[in-house]
Structure 1
Amino acid sequence: MADGPGELVAAGEVLAMLGVGRSRFRQIQQSPHFPAPYARLSVGAIWLKADVEKYIAEHRRPRPVDEDE
């Protein structure tokens, strides 16, 4: 049996990974750098988690660390 493409994430998980709301996520999706969905299902788009992680590493500023944590 062949391995799958990798871990998949839906919009809600991508929002959490990016730390943004839905309207900001819609803007980010318009960026030519944001990965295209791996597939579009009846419930919405899904992405390869590795593609989203790569986008975050290359195109998002690191979030400040809360020193109280």
Structure 2
Amino acid sequence: MREPLMGPYEIAQRLGVSRQRFQQLTRYPSFPEPYAVLRGGKVWRTEDIEQWIRDHRQPGPADGDEQH
């Protein structure tokens, strides 16, 4: 069973990008807002991230090919 929340490390791993690239992606207006901001950092709902991937990422390993 998939965890209900993801942090920056898990999202970067899921997207196949560096943590720096992940931080850039969070600046896009289409990127989901964090579910919570905790003392240790921001967390997102896994289902929100998976929906964003379905809506905005094209299949393939190329990092620069996502739609915004």
TM range (shorter): 0.7 to 0.9
Root-mean-square deviation over aligned CA pairs: 1.3
Q: TM-score, normalised by structure 1?
A: 0.79
Structure 1 residue 30, shift from structure 2 partner: 0.4
* Residue 39 (structure 1) aligned to one of 36, 40, 46: 36
Identity score, percent: 42
Q: Where do 4+ consecutive residues of structure 1 move more than 3 Å? A: none
Question: What TM-score does the superposition give when structure 2 sets the normalisation length?
Answer: 0.80
Unaligned runs of 5+ in 1: 1-5, 65-69
* Corresponding residue for residue 53 of structure 2: 56
Q: Looking at CA atoms only, which structure, 1 or 2, has the larger radius of gyration?
A: 1
Note the residue ranges of structure 2 that are not aligned, 5 or more in a row: 62-68
Q: Which has the higher contact order (CA 8 A, sep 6+)?
A: 1
